[in-house]
């Protein structure tokens, strides 16, 4: 259990490293599930009465910091542990790990994506909003990668508790995704200018929908427009 010094190679391992990797892995998954759920609440304009919208946004940002910290610990303990050979490079370059190549690769992909999301969010005021949003969409993909990685690499996903955790997190995120789409707000640029949302309170016969426009009634007699 003590660190063994070899002539050329520093080998360092301990079961506690491994436990930390596993534990932080699970915590990271739970935290990111929370982050995604909060992000969905922000996108769907929840809040304003009991809890403020900006508060949910701040919550989303704060939890993501904690989640990143746990993710970092998870990653560092993995590469520090030489019991299984995953080099430093394998956390960012997929398919370079000796141990559980595919599983770690998927984790690496997820890590790359979430780092991109993280860095772009840190620089949010400096980059164009369009670019930030484009990168932010990849957080969904990063989560999928995390789930697959958990299933493929995870030690604890072999037992019931672990599987349950992964399933619950997946359900929360899938639910968030579905609700994100179903309850999406009517946006100006979503070409919903003439949606019923925009008409007056009393329903009028002239309730235009985006489906069809009756062409305007008879134009003036015999006149050409030009």
Contacts 24+ apart (CB under 8 A), 101-108: 102/152, 103/149, 103/152, 103/153, 104/149, 104/153, 106/145, 106/148, 106/149, 106/152, 106/153, 107/145, 107/146, 107/149, 107/153
Contacts 24+ apart (CB under 8 A), 35-40: 35/60, 35/63, 35/64, 35/67, 36/139, 36/140, 36/143, 36/172, 36/173, 36/176, 37/172, 37/173, 37/176, 38/63, 39/139, 40/176, 40/177, 40/179, 40/180
Tell me how far apart the alpha carbons of residues 34 and 204 are, in angstroms, rounded to a whole number: 43
* Cβ 65 to another protein shortest distance, Å: 15
- Ranges within 1-20 binding another protein (CB under 8 A): none
* Cβ 44 to another protein shortest distance, Å: 10
Q: Is 137 an interacting residue with respect to another protein (CB under 8 A)? A: no
Interface with another protein by CB under 8 A: which range of 107-115, 145-153, 168-176, 201-209? Answer: 201-209
Contacts for 3 with CB less than 8 Å, ≥ 6 apart: 10, 11, 12, 13
Q: Residue 194 has what DSSP assignment?
A: T
Interface with another protein by CB under 8 A: which range of 29-37, 40-48, 67-75, 176-184? Answer: 40-48
Q: Residue 11 has what DSSP assignment?
A: E
Of 98 and 210, the one with the shorter C-beta distance to another protein is 210
* Cβ 63 to another protein shortest distance, Å: 16
Among 36, 42, 147, 165, binds another protein (CB under 8 A): 42
Among 48, 79, 92, 116, binds another protein (CB under 8 A): 48
* Cβ 106 to another protein shortest distance, Å: 30
- Ranges within 75-134 binding another protein (CB under 8 A): 124-125, 129, 132
Q: Is 53 an interacting residue with respect to another protein (CB under 8 A)? A: yes
Q: Is 224 an interacting residue with respect to another protein (CB under 8 A)? A: yes
* Cβ 53 to another protein shortest distance, Å: 5
Count of residues binding another protein (CB under 8 A)?
47
Tell me how far apart the alpha carbons of residues 187 and 71 are, in angstroms, rounded to a whole number: 35
List residues binding another protein (CB under 8 A): 42, 45, 48, 52-54, 57-58, 124-125, 129, 132, 185, 187-194, 197-200, 202-208, 210-213, 215-221, 223-226
């Amino acid at each position: 259990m003590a660190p063994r010094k070899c002539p050329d190679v520093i080998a360092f391992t301990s079961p506690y490293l491994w436990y930390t990797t596993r534990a932080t892995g699970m915590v990271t998954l739970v935290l990111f599930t929370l982050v995604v759920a909060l992000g969905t609440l922000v996108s769907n304009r929840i809040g304003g009465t009991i809890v403020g919208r900006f508060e949910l946004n701040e919550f989303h940002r704060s939890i993501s910091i904690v989640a990143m910290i746990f993710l970092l610990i998870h990653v560092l303990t993995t590469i520090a542990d030489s019991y299984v050979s995953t080099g430093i490079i394998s956390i960012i370059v997929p398919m370079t790990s000796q141990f559980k190549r595919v599983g770690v690769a998927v984790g690496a992909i997820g890590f790359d994506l979430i780092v991109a999301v993280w860095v772009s969010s840190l620089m949010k005021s400096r980059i164009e909003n369009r670019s930030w949003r484009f990168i932010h969409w990849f957080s969904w993909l990063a989560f999928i990668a995390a789930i697959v990685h958990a299933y493929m690499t995870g030690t604890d996903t072999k037992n019931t508790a672990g599987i349950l955790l992964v399933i619950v997190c997946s359900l929360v995120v899938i639910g968030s995704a579905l609700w994100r789409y179903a309850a999406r707000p009517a946006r100006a640029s979503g070409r919903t200018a003439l949606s019923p949302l925009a008409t007056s309170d009393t329903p009028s016969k002239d309730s235009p929908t985006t489906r069809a426009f009756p062409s305007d009634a008879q134009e003036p007699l015999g006149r050409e427009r030009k």
